[in-house]
Structure 1
Amino acid sequence: MRKRNKKAGSSHEPKKSLSLTPQQQQSKCYEGEDLDSLLKSIGREIELERLSKGALPEKIWIKQQFSIGVNDITRVLERMMTSAQLGNSSQKPLVAGNYRKPSIQLQAVLLASDCNPRWLTKHLPSLASSREVPVIFVKDNKGGSLRLGELVKLKTAIAIGVKARGSGINKLIQGILHDDQIAGDNGVLEAC
């Protein structure tokens, strides 16, 4: 019995590696004040873009800028080329009948980490990672989906994909992903 206790507390156990997987390197988690700053900045940029190009009805405009919901994001990510396919330039776009593969690309995915049941969104980080799309986790004491829903004028949204369209929203997301100005030093590189 003593040997078992000694072995459990032994310093000879292998230590966990501190290196991050590619999926974790492309993920960020925001909560608290950092989350408030992030969502205010994105909301402000959405309003500015909406006012500058306000010819379309709001729901249609939002649909052009964002992919909303787990199913829609999954569909768009599955249609995007994987990083292995991007390296193979000889690959032709898939054509089935008169249907041509859409050229919609996601810049980033905002994902509420409070999703219940968790299996609804479990596949998104790995699918996004295979397409080299960063994931930004939103954690807010079971209110992340409510906060994301406010951005796109819905009651709740578990996941929002930001479509790459060269807008001010894309510039802001690019700054968030690379400079990490909003999160400061608290932008954690792991899932919430």
Structure 2
Amino acid sequence: MPLYKTLTPNPQTTVKIWKITESYDDLLKPVTLKPENMERVLGMKSELHQRGFLSVRHLLAEFGYQDSDLFYDENGKPHLKDGKHISITHSFTFSGVVVSDCEVGIDIEKQREKIGRIAHKFMDYESQYLDSNDKEYVRKLTVIWCVKESLYKLFATPGLSFLQHTMVIPFMIHDEETVAWIDYDNKKYRYNTTFLEFEGFSCAIALPS
């Protein structure tokens, strides 16, 4: 399947999401990979991961980029050679890329009941407004995780803790947006976050306010 969804959270930012239905061979044929990335793909034990990696290269092409335009810094944060900001995600059968003129983060996660078992590991403040008996509990937890993962990718600072340094302001699922904060090294950073759901997955995009 080609491009699944395109979003523009603001005029300087574009998000593209891919639904991965193609085979590994069909995804590999049209792309040209740097030698180290070809080696990386061949070394992946899971075909799901291989297809996720390759689908991201198709998304890059949708933006007019090639694999060679992408590089990573020492903290594992992706960058584009033209100086635009980029963030990348993939989860099971979906992948996403966001390109912006400003710092940005994106995450896609599958909504699963088991997230409730690890909620205490990634949220503190948020537990004050969440109700485990709420029928939307798992969906809200997944949004919070996606927002925090997006912040983590955007901030790209070793030692940043979901539990200790990030906070997501109360929201309703139908809001499709909320505000989040990073409180790190005696400084506070405010972010606008957009979120959406599709086919049992959640996606969040974080941008500086």
What band does the TM-score fall into relative to the shorter chain? under 0.3
TM-score normalised by L of structure 2: 0.23
TM-score normalised by L of structure 1: 0.25
> Which is strand-richer, 1 or 2?
2
> Which is helix-richer, 1 or 2?
1
State which structure, 1 or 2, has the greater radius of gyration over its C-alpha atoms: 1
